[in-house]
Amino acid sequence: MSVKPVDPLRLDVAALAAEHGEQGGHWPLVDLERLAESVLPGETPGAQVHWQVEGDLRPQAGSAPEIWMHLTAQAGLAMRCQRCLGAVPVPLDLDRWIRFVPDGSQAETLDAELEDDVLELQRWMNLRELVEDELLLALPLVPRHDACPTPLPMPADDEPAGEAPPAHPFAALAQLRKKPDA
């Protein structure tokens, strides 16, 4: 584990990988504004996002070693169930390996070909933005309970019991057409 503290808002990924360093910590959910907007207000007070990164250099035959970073993050959030509109707990647990390459076009090409994430290596990286992006991508598209805790409201019947359904609005016109001319 790295003894030297790492600033997650100005992370030097190449140095972290060269040292095979590790760093971890947590951020309050309110510090990740876009993620905080996606959750149900008031349902997860004091929620925290826990994260950890590990740098790694992977040797390559005949070329410079590849720079990799292992990112893990966990958060427990609450979102609105799309069936019952109540709060549904959404546990998020990320476990990603990210490869860094020196060129943006190379990153795009490799990202399309490989299952692992590939990013362009920059001098400094804002790790909090990366963690927030990955958590947003991990959110369910349609949050819902497997079985809602309260029964769903049934649509109200328009017809009181025992009464005939109302006549069709054009029924009177149809009757006028059928009358013989006098």
Say which residue, 93 or 156, is predicted with more confidence: 93
Residue 51 burial class via C-beta count within 10 angstroms: exposed 0-12, middle 13-18, buried 19 and up: buried
* Sequence ranges of the domains in the chain: 13-148
Determine the 3-state secondary structure of 13 from DSSP. Answer: helix
In this predicted structure, what is the pLDDT of residue 2? 44
pLDDT, tens digit (0-9, with 9 covering 90-100), for 61-76: 888 899 999 999 999 9
Residues contacting residue 10 through CB under 8 Å, at least 6 positions apart = 124, 125, 126
How far apart are alpha carbons 51 and 94 in whole angstroms?
9
Beta-bridged to residue 77, according to DSSP, are 90
How far apart are alpha carbons 88 and 102 in whole angstroms?
41
pLDDT, tens digit (0-9, with 9 covering 90-100), for 120-170: 888 899 999 999 999 999 999 999 999 988 876 666 655 555 666 677 777
> Whole-model pTM?
0.75
How far apart are alpha carbons 98 and 55 in whole angstroms?
10
pLDDT of 53 > 70? The answer is yes
How far apart are alpha carbons 86 and 167 in whole angstroms?
39
How far apart are alpha carbons 91 and 78 in whole angstroms?
8
DSSP at 115: S
How far apart are alpha carbons 22 and 159 in whole angstroms?
67
